[in-house]
Amino acid sequence: MINYIKNNISYLLLLAVIISFTSCEDIIEIDVQDSESKIVVDALLNVVEQTATVRLSKTTPLYSTDTTVVDLDASVSLVDEVGNSTPLSQLTVGEYVATDLNVQAGQDLTLVVEVDNEVYSGNAIVPEFVELAKVDTLQTAFTFGDTTVVFYQVAMEWIDILDVDNFYRLQTYVNDTLETGQYFLYADTQNNGIAMNRPIMSFYQPGQNITLELYSTNESYYDFYLQVASIQEQGFGGTTPFNPQGNMFDSDGNHILGNFGIIQSSSIHVQL
């Protein structure tokens, strides 16, 4: 796996140069019609922590200077497959939480949100826990004249669960700060039941504290962030913007904005 990381170094350096030349682009105004305000439901259940957080907001017209409406006075609950309902409490404006849950892998859960006499819901299966087994590190040095630059790359390894459809997301933190804008997403379609070792396409400096986190996710979480990653990639020249489609629906079965995700998390800390 270390050889695989090393072979990617030259590619990443080239990519960094390309991005530096394409980071400045003309701003193009698009003539679009304003649309009505729509509800957005962003929900995440962390099985390891046994917590759920739901954030509710509403979209605003594209060219409006008004703030997003979030004080919705909503009723939010989690319902299991036999009808047991757990209410979420409002923590702050637009944010609802539940703690000390008793959620188990394989459960079928439905998030129900009631706002303004409308009912919105999303369904998800709780994923299995998968442990992050180890982290490989590779130190590389480049010399430019009298200057030597040292950096590290890392790869994460875990054992996929046999005969179970598994979906994963990798997250990294540098000195306790999440690296945003990165979407390392994997499914086990060709790696069922075997070790999966995947590099993180980032460079790290000596002395940095790196936390590497493995999410085992429900399928809709994986699909949702694949779409988010695609939207980000289109930023380099894409021409067809779209909203990522999650697993939240209105009472008529129409998709609404947002997603109900469930994760099992495992992490390893590395001092470089």
- Give which of 91, 103, 1, 85 is closest to 45, Cα–Cα: 103
Tell me the whole-structure pTM to 2 decimals.
0.82
Note whether 2-16+129-238+263-271 and 39-125 share their fold.
Answer: yes
**H/E element, 72:** none
- Topology of domain 2-16+129-238+263-271, per CATH? Immunoglobulin-like (2.60.40)
Ranges of each domain in the chain: 2-16+129-238+263-271, 39-125
- Residue 191 is predicted with a pLDDT of 87
pLDDT classification of 8: cutoffs 50, 70, 90 = very low
Structural contact between residues 91 and 61, judged by C-beta atoms closer than 8 angstroms: no
Angle, CA of 166, 50 and 80, to the nearest 5°? 75
Q: Measured between alpha carbons, how far is residue 63 from residues 17, 31, 38, 140 in Å?
A: 34, 11, 15, 48
Q: What is the pLDDT of residues 151-162, one digit of tens each?
A: 999 999 999 999
pLDDT classification of 59: cutoffs 50, 70, 90 = confident
Q: Residues in the chain, how many? A: 272
**H/E element, 4:** helix 2-7
Domain 39-125 has CATH 2.60.40: yes
- Residue 89 is predicted with a pLDDT of 97
Q: What is the pLDDT of residues 111-146, one digit of tens each?
A: 999 998 999 999 999 999 999 999 999 999 989 889
Alpha-carbon gap, residue 233 to 229, rounded angstroms: 6
Name the β-bridge partners of 98.
52
Q: What residue has token string 């067809």?
A: 240
Structural contact between residues 268 and 132, judged by C-beta atoms closer than 8 angstroms: yes
Alpha-carbon gap, residue 110 to 106, rounded angstroms: 13
Q: What single letter denotes the amino acid at residue 44? A: L
Token reading at 6: 């090393």
- Residue 61 is predicted with a pLDDT of 65
Residue that wins the pLDDT comparison between 87 and 72: 87
Mean pLDDT of 218-227: 96
Token reading at 226: 């694949």
CA 160 to chain centre: 19
